[in-house]
Amino acid sequence: GIVLFIIPEYVGNPVLGVAVVTAFSRLLGCTLALIALIQIFRPFKHYFKLSWKKIYQVSTLGIPTAGEQISYNFAQTFTTAFIAMLGTQVIAAKSVSTVLSGLSFSCAMAFSAASQIYLGKFISRRRYRTLKKVVIKSIWFNITQSFMIMTCVFI
């Protein structure tokens, strides 16, 4: 694989060589992991019986979430391509901003997951007044957190 990167005569472009080798190595790793998982979990196959109804319910929740992430990555690809035309300093600045937005996104996703579990308990216990108070407090907390992160970025 490294030959495609070091000796570009085979591919013509070392960046293309790295991309091809990376894609091939990920495909190979995924295949080997799948084979290992099949061999390990074959004796426990009877525990993994799933109904199509459950698979459909999980898919209706998971596919829109995956689509959101794919859309975000697609937009990032075009943004990076546009920024690459502007120069290396702009690419470095974009890398820093990507790390900062990733940090903010991670905090938001962690808070979101915890809130869903927490609010689900209130709904199951029919404590709607407490639920309303918690939602309003969490909205203000998120606004404050976003403002603090933006302030740190601008300073």
pLDDT at 117: 84
pLDDT at 33: 93
139 touches 132 (CB < 8 A): no
pLDDT at 7: 61
pLDDT at 10: 63
pTM check: above 0.85 = no
pLDDT at 52: 83
User: Which residues, given as ranges, of the chain have pLDDT below 50?
Assistant: none
Domain boundaries, the chain: 1-60, 87-155
pLDDT at 118: 81
